[in-house]
Amino acid sequence: MRIINLILIALIVTMGPAARAFADGYVVICNAKSKVSQLPKADVKSLFLGKAKTLGGDAAVVVVRAEDDGVFGAFSDGLFGVSAKTLLSKIKQEVFKGEMAKPIKAGSDDDVVKAVAGSPGTIGVVSPAASKSLPAGVIAVSVGG
Amino acid sequence: MYGDSDASAKTDGTRAGTADTFSAAHLDFFSTANVKKWTFLAETMFEADAVSNTYSVDVERVEVGYLVDEKLRVFAGRFHTAIGYYNDAFHHGLFFMVPIARPVMVEFEDGGGLIPAHNVGLHADGRFSIGDDHLRYDVEVANGRAADPTVILNKQDTNRAKAFNLRLRYEPSGLLDGLIIGGNVYFDSIPANTMAASSETGFPFHFGPLHELIVGGHAAYFEHQIHFVSEALMIQHTETDTGAVHRTFCAFGEAGYQIDSLTPYVRYEYTRFPTEGDPYFLKTAADGFQRPSIGMKHFTTDNIALKLEAAALFSRRSGTDPSYSLTGQLAWAF
């Protein structure tokens, strides 16, 4: 039992950010051509609010989900501290300002994965379950600090 | 597609000074497209005029841009000048604004605003990291002002001098993440106003060419349900041939707090024109004012916002009573 506990602690320490994302109910994914496997929380926030314009050197495009979507709700609440409705409104305003590209709307994990696989610079969020079977061309992003 | 329908009542306490109206003054078509690092954006507004009561069409923004990297993005076309916070944060989108309307000082040219809200030319911006914090710049070279404050030089600049604008913003991280602190410097040369005459305006103004200098600062914060924007500007017009200097000072601050879908807010505006008058705005010290307002915005659905605002206008003109207004607004975005 003690060995199992030690293994779990080691896993949490080494996979800290990813483990936190799992615990938060969402996993950030991006196009593999972006070659970004780790991002600070602040950078993910900047990408979804149009402050950061590029991901891996390509023009950034975010994938959004419905305001009543559980995964997107967990992402909005966990990372931005606001409801999905408020986050979607902020994104709409940033598009109107010309600060970010119009987001791609997705209705499910599969839609998000397809959109992210579709072009470099694309970033979205899926459920932890969906992140376990990502196709080639899509990678999970470890979100830290 | 954006727009609004309003209902308002204004009074100075007298029967003659009381008016009420409904309006459906704005229909705003917004379009944008992105192809890799290229961006296209256009905002076309159908806007009703208060005097003629007819709609006219204005292409408010039309821009083509290219994203080089985080440090450089370039746009060409007609854009909202990067002055202060309000002008290029809310554009013509009343749906996004918490209050009913823009502060008067940053209203558009045809709405009595004091800033060159629109410009035609080149815009560049970018963002640099300073540790975990960021510095953002906006630089613009454009046609600048026309002799008539309500005219925008869309097709042809009427003098050779171009307007130059620089805005710098500091965006701290950590506990202050979301805070924006910025400043502006804007230079322009304004041609002589050959259309206006003292006899027409009633003011003994000088109508020669002017040099314009606008210096300002702003702060904004929109995190943790807090809504806060404040701006201050000094607008200086120097008569090129006499050297006479005229300075206008204006500022506003607005604060709100979002409770679920409801955001109550307050705003205070202050404008002071020079005692001797400003030859470009054709305003004297008596045109200065203070305007406190209080209201609330209800974020009813993703597409609908309902607002209610009460305001008082205290003019510096001697013998003028304060006027009061109550305005309701249905702003939408589909």
- What distance in Å separates the CA atoms of residue B2 and residue B86, rounded to the nearest whole number? 18
pLDDT of res. A15: 46
B32/A contact by beta carbon, under 8 A: yes
Alpha helices (H) in B97-210, listed in sequence order: 198-201
How far is it, in rounded angstroms, from Cα B47 to Cα B58? 8
Closest by CA position to A97, among listed B86, B216, B12, B143: B86
Residue indicated by tokens 């900047």? A46
| pLDDT score at B204 | 53
Q: What is the rounded average pLDDT of the residues A11-36?
A: 68
Report phi then psi at B20, rounded to 5: -140, 150
Q: Which residues of A touch B30 (CB under 8 A)?
A: 96
Q: 10-residue block means of pLDDT along chain B (334 residues)?
A: 72 78 85 93 88 88 96 96 95 90 93 94 96 95 91 89 96 91 96 63 68 97 93 96 94 95 96 92 92 95 90 91 90 87
pLDDT number for residue B72:
97
ipTM given for this complex: 0.88
d(CA B223, CA B208): 47
3-state secondary structure of A77: helix
Average pLDDT over residues A9-33: 64
> Which segments of A25-139 does DSSP mark as H helices, in order?
41-48, 70-75, 84-97, 109-118, 128-131
Residue A108: predicted pLDDT: 93
Between A19 and A78, name the one with better pLDDT.
A78
B93 touches chain A (CB under 8 A): yes
Band (pLDDT 50/70/90 cuts) for residue A128 is very high
Question: Using CB atoms, which residue from B91, B171, B302 is nearest to A96?
Answer: B91
For A85, which residue in chain B has the nearest alpha carbon? Answer: B302
Whole-model pTM?
A: 0.88
Minimal Cα distance from B300: which residue of A?
A: A85
Q: Which residues pair with B267 in a beta bridge?
A: B254, B293
Q: Report pLDDT for A5.
A: 56
CATH code of A20-144, in short, is: 3.40.190.10
Pair of tokens at residue B22: 């409904």
Lowest mean pLDDT among A14-18, A67-71, A115-119: A14-18
Q: Tell me if A51 and B299 make a contact (CB, 8 A cut-off).
A: no
Q: Answer for the pair B139, B166: CB distance below 8 angstroms, yes or no.
A: yes
Do the chains contact at A101 and B39, CB–CB below 8 Å? Answer: yes
Q: In the predicted model, is pLDDT for residue A4 greater than 70?
A: no
Q: Which of B67, B75, B127 sits opposite A51 (nearest CB)?
A: B127
Can you list the domains of chain B with their CATH numbers?
2-333 (2.40.160.10)
Identify residues of A whose CB sits under 8 angstroms from chain B CBs. Answer: 42, 45, 51-54, 57-59, 61, 67, 81-82, 85-86, 88-90, 92-93, 95-98, 101-102
Q: Specify the pairing of strand B2-11 against strand A104-105.
A: unpaired
Structural domain boundaries in chain A: 20-144
d(CA B190, CA B149) in angstroms, rounded, equals 10
* CA atoms of B150 and B322, how far apart (whole Å): 27
